[in-house]
Amino acid sequence: MGWWFGIKLWQRVLLALFAGVAFGLAASQLMGQESATQWISTWVHPVGTAFIRLIQMLIVPLIFTTLVSGVIAMGKPSKLGTLGLKTIGLYLVTTLFANIIGLTFGTIFQPGRGANLGDVVPVPVSTDAPSIIDRLLEIIPTNPIAALADGNVLAIIFFSIFVGVAILATGKSGKPVGDLFNSAAEVVLKITHYVMEVAPYGVFALVSYTAASQGLESLQSVLILIIAVYLGLITHALITYGILIRVVLNLPLARFFRGLTDPIAVAFSTASSSATLPVTIAAAEDNLGIKKSVAGSVLPLGATINMDGTALYLGILALFTAQAFGYDLTFMNYVMIAVTAAVVSIGAAGIPSASLFLLAIVLQTFDVSPEHIAIIVGFILPVDRIMDMARTAVNVTGDAAVATAVAKWEGELDEDVFRAPAKV
């Protein structure tokens, strides 16, 4: 097996991705879709589930240790204020551009025109959503241990920042605790590298199940929608992040994408930005030269609040719904769709298909009936995973783009590492 591990990881992941698609489709043709899905679900898919669980196992310890270590690396708690404002501001700007691009592609491609919704099984979804005040209050954990156990990322970030600031403020007596967190962060990142060696097998299992259960036939009815979503996401990644990296930061764009090969491949195959977080942090530090103080704080925050792909996707789906059912939209409807998609995407769960159930909130902006919402969700849900994979990859890329910008503005970017050949 030495030859296999001699192949670069991103190449192994891509090989596994294509092999999984071929295996899933071949099994579906030979055994029938239902039998193939059942067989792969029993004997192959558990490998993918194990891979996801391995990565999820790292999320909480990685965020906690790297964020505390990152705050300590800043040296001065005052730097947190400017870093936080730049990070959140830039995330909001990129989300705005994602909304505009999504609505533009939804208008150009008209994916809802002529959509056949007659045989769709409706899937009712809740339209209730917590208020902004409730969301803000949930950031403060009543029990930090429970927040760590539940994987409440925003609460973990809040508590981790407090711990890091307290260690700095304590001075010499807090140094041993700081050293402990620095060592712990290095250990967790080393575990991440070990887990990533399992990635090709997990990707093969996950993708083969998706290919077998979806099949080519299920894609035909939503082909235009899928094309519109993919082209919109690619456009956003190349133009929005391209302008930020190449024009604003004056850094090589091809090198930026090259350095993110591993996290993009994992994000695409798992459709989970949270599960990809350990890989993103490792790539940001090793390939992009982003210092620990920024990578450990900006990226966990981005995995929680930066959902450019989700915002773009919700905008296109809103126009798909309006076109399919004949709702006439005014300019203010477009504005409300954009604003609502941006707001609900913030803090969306970083798990497969979570954003689809936020669609109900966006559709309420132009009074879509609950019956129509249920039909749209039922129509999209079977093939949502195909589009979720792409928008997760864009979310992860956006996290890294913002982290790169903040790192350069804060003097925490090693440009020699950024411009050097990527470790992939």
pLDDT of residue 290: 94
For 405, phi and psi rounded to 5 degrees?
Answer: -65, -50
E-strand ranges in 10-58 read none
Q: What is the pTM (predicted TM-score) of this model?
A: 0.84
Residue 67 φ/ψ, nearest 5 degrees: -70, -45
pLDDT digit string, tens, across residues 133-162:
776 787 889 999 998 888 777 788 889 888
Q: Is residue 128 part of a domain?
A: yes
Overall average pLDDT of the 346-353 stretch = 56
- Looking up residue 389, the CATH number of its domain turns out to be 1.10.3860.10
What pLDDT score was predicted for residue 322? 93
- Tell me if 372 sits within 8 A of 366, measured CB to CB: no
For residue 342, is it within any domain? yes
Cβ distance 276 to 63 under 8 Å?
no
Does any domain span residue 354? Answer: yes
Cα separation of the two ends of the chain: 19
Question: Would 41 be classed as within a structural domain?
Answer: yes
| pLDDT, tens digit, 9 for 90 and up, residues 172-208 | 899 999 999 989 988 988 888 888 888 889 889 988 8
Inside any domain, residue 301? yes
The C-alpha atoms of residue 406 and residue 197 are separated, in whole angstroms, by: 30
State yes or no: pLDDT of 423 exceeds 80: no
What string of DSSP letters covers 366-388?
A: GT--HHHHHHHHHHHGGGHHHHH
Contact call for residues 359 and 376 (beta carbons, < 8 A): yes
Give the total number of structural domains in the chain: 1
Q: Which domain holds residue 83?
A: 2-419
Query: Would residue 424 count as lying in a domain?
Result: no
403 located within any domain: yes
- Model confidence band, residue 1 (pLDDT cutoffs 50, 70, 90): low
Flag whether 225 is in a domain: yes
